Chains A and B, each alone.
Chain A
Amino acid sequence: LAKTTQPISMDSYEGQEVNITCSHNNIATNDYITWYQQFPSQGPRFIIQGYKTKVTNEVASLFIPADRKSSTLSLPRVSLSDTAVYYCLVGPFTGGYQKVTFGTGTKLQVIP
């Protein structure tokens, strides 16, 4: 599994756009990049997944450069309820891949 590196913590004011970057230098050809969100005392929740270029859904955008060695999760206009830990995961989600492995994640604190 590709090792990921992301900032331990970030602070942001309400209403700002937040970008969290994850490095995954040894990403493999068949690896996907997935982001999960976890609130205190709750289970991780899937946010977004991509393979290359840009993916957008109702919650976030995911930017992946051509070399795929990093990715950036973008949260538009964050609110206090976006305070959570955000995990970047890299792995081949198809073909019988059995599990996801979590790193330490990025603790995002949204400030009023």
Chain B
Amino acid sequence: EPEVTQTPSHQVTQMGQEVILRCVPISNHLYFYWYRQILGQKVEFLVSFYNNEISEKSEIFDDQFSVERPDGSNFTLKIRSTKLEDSAMYFCASRVDSSGNTIYFGEGSWLTVV
């Protein structure tokens, strides 16, 4: 079964450093998402991406965050200057198209900011 893959699985970074989380969505999918889950809390929507632009973003997704699809296969989330409260599991997800009824999630990238 095709799957969404994410790298790294775990990253530790110092506060103020830039972090890039990478995702390879399922190959024929057109909609891409980033979610995050702080330890012990619920899964929160960050951003959705379609046709090379952001289609929706949450309040969490401020100017410190950006997304990019640089080469037609990877989908990246960049945090420009990490804060302690950015420590969380970040999930990438994808959906085939607007009629697709299932969003597929990756296994996540665990980010620890120290």
Q: Which residues of chain A have a CB within 8 Å of any CB of chain B?
A: 32, 34, 38, 41-46, 49, 87, 93-105
Contact = CB atoms under 8 A, between A and B. Distances in A.
Interface stretch (B12-20, B70-78, B94-102): B94-102
B101 to A, nearest CB: 4
A42 B43 CA distance: 11
B68 interface: no
- A interface: dominant SS: loop
A38 B43 contact: yes
B55 A43 contact: no
Given A41-B110, A46-B103, A98 B55 contact: yes
Nearest to B93: A43
B55 A45 contact: no
Contacts of A46: 102-104
Given A42-B107, A99-B56, A102-B42, A49 B31 contact: no
A87 B43 CA distance: 10
A101 B56 CA distance: 13
14 contacts: A32-B101, A38-B43, A42-B108, A43-B108, A44-B91, A45-B105, A49-B101, A94-B98, A95-B98, A98-B50, A99-B33, A99-B48, A99-B56, A104-B42
A107 to B, nearest CB: 11
* Residue from B89, B101, B106, B108 having most chain A Cβ neighbours under 10 A: B101
Contact of A97 (B98, B104, B110): B98
Interface of B: 4, 31, 33, 35, 42-45, 48, 50, 55-56, 89, 91, 93, 98-108, 110
Given A49-B102, A97-B98, A98-B55, A43 B107 contact: yes
Nearest to B100: A93
Given A41-B89, A42-B107, A43-B108, A94 B101 contact: yes
Contacts of A104: 42
Given A98-B56, A99-B33, A99-B48, A44 B98 contact: no
A99 B98 CA distance: 10
A93 B108 contact: no
